[in-house]
Structure 1
């Protein structure tokens, strides 16, 4: 898939620059022609000699080639490439890309590039979470660039959190999927639900849960990368849209999510129900904020729409549905019963007994159960990798 592809690797100043050596080697091994542009600060972390040896091309870092003033033509370089991947992308380089600043050869090449652009951020966890960085990443996504999100793990600071550059093997997989003419889910329509639902008590308060939406958003991204046309129905989250081609339908309540799903379900080939939908809602919603007037307050609850069961009844031949089960006891038997009752083809089991799994984590540990009660267990992984495991299983089942 990468044979004879022309790839620019842009390297900015980050300790993660050492990973660029492996990335270069893997791309060259895959048959790609690689040229490297690096910032001056990047050369403090990895030498141009190492990268030129691996890429079999000179490494560029300055506008002029020599003292005579002969220049490196960044315009030609930008037009030459089939893709540009900036890895690692530091907070500084990301900010300059988002604002169109141009004070080095890497940025000049980026601004001249006509090809698809990918970037793999790398920085400390608080920098990565900072609203300014997230705003810049969101802006770059609106340009059509693909952000290969930073991963959870130990950082150079000694802290543990999200900020590690994605591993080179996974970056190569993203590029290979992009260039694949035979995307396995091309022509398929996918529906993904994600996040929590909020069931209003009054205009101020609600019943909800701790779902972050990370798992559902990662699945939507991996389905899109595999070629599917994706509709993402999401409860309230702070997650950025993974790709501009994903159609986001924001909702709040279980009823709104039910209506949004049933509206598109008849035209959907693959459905993944990853949202944490509230089972109950208040029977009555107060028009005004409820005042604290007594020591006790009772709220009558009634069942919400069971979205999975409703879609299971509408399911036609050829439609493929994946459900989730988050359990705290009798995990396997409860998941198997749910798979049958709700007419799923697969069910993804999470246990809150597993450390690092469940709500709020950047990692997850799952088991996937099929209609024949075959159970496939997976190790604890970051949620992007878990999403890839789920999508790979869907593709295998459909084939």
Structure 2
């Protein structure tokens, strides 16, 4: 007997923690930009697992690499070396220009790793007094769900009820270089920022902001950390979003699409100075840098580059942006994006974005609301022009009906 969506949803609600509010669609299969539910209905995936599936669902070359490695060796811990880790280091360092790499599993772990490393760098290299290191972050940031990270979130839903929190963080408005400059003190060890704020609703900073941040960090001896876990690896039409302003961070965090959706893999990419402060026994992960993860990540990076997905993101992203902006609807307040990282912000009188996401689901498009009034649109980077046009048609039909 075939299990129905309603049965699985009921089981989830009975046994699972109520910490997510997904759309009521139960997916069982995916290929490229398309996914199918348990009843066989097809949908265009307009979210790509929050940019973890840039390479498309079940990419055959990544799958083949994973299957091959699974038959050889999956885990050794870092107590021993394996034959994939050094090759992963080489591949990602050559691609990004990094000097040192520290592999982890989730994006949140990469953020925590960076926080630990820059604090240690601050004490041992910059000379900040013990226990006084400060890290500057931005309002409306999203860097994960760990206790340290939610402690410097400005979102009451993320941090409410989870304190007490770790000290040592100062918050400034996103996109305001003057505020950043004023917040820097002799104890500032790092500025942690998303080049584009994803969870906040695809908020793009003013032109020149990242470049000015780079100049200020260099001037004051502050480590610049770009959280590119969502913006990186082709999503914005460049390998890394920092390239749009021609700047280079001291520390770059990548994850999500680093495995093409097959396996949790993240990495801290750094100059030698910051990661050089870590010594054996001071930080690590049993699964971080395991041979299966490294083989999958190497394949995911290869297909991203060799199959032109980054260039396609730039071309199709512009097509998507222009198509969405051409929609005539009184409830659309703004359409913004870079590459295939796009958002449609609705006016308050629209009554929230959730209902429009549900309406799009009935038309075969899966997207998700964020911050109540915004719909994020970030399909896999393998999307084709005709699929972009069809996607825009569905948005037009749903948004125009809200006039």
TM-score range, shorter chain: under 0.3
More helix by share: 2
- Structure index of larger Rg: 1
When the two structures are superposed, what TM-score results if normalisation uses the length of structure 2? 0.27
